[in-house]
Amino acid sequence: MTPSHRAFPARVSLRLSPLLLIAALGGCASSPEVAEAPRTRASDETALKAVGNAGQMIGKPYRYAGDTPAGFDCSGLVRYSYGRAGISMPRATAAQRSATTSISVRSLRPGDLLFFDQEGKKASHVGIYVGDGRFIHAPSTGGHVRTDSLGADYWKKHFVEARRV
């Protein structure tokens, strides 16, 4: 074989490798999560268990795409807390919003989800209502799971809606 014949497959594979990588990554990015409603609606007791589970995570670090005690993002905390209470929740904030039922703020109960606009993105942040105007959430990079007041100016300004699991 001549050197040019041996080099041909290598050149083809080098040219195909980036294309295969793009196709593989594009496949993950283009398969959006389907928002399925939880199979079981949360009873008051189950919602309180989810609040308790979230409360045990206060102080855990924020971690993008995190959904374990090693670190949480906002929707990961919801998924983990409800999962430990026996309710399977979608992973993404938008899917959690789609899988739950809109309620009025006047009818809030512990365990309801609160959705907020952040960085110009509609309903891009979620927290779990704990009662007395407070909620638990995983706020942002560098932060930790914590409670905040729904009445604080920042959260009042960015509040979108409340929804029930």
Active site residues: 74, 125, 137
| Longest Cα separation, the chain | 80
Angle at CA of residue 64, ends 86 and 72, nearest 5°: 35
Structure tokens at 13: 């594979």
Give 164: exposed, middle or buried? Use CB within 10 Å, 0-12, 13-18, 19+: middle
Instruction: Sort strands 67-68 and 71-72 into parallel, antiparallel or unpaired.
Output: antiparallel
Residues in the chain: 165
- Residue of 65, 59, 47, 48 lying closest to 147 (CA atoms): 59
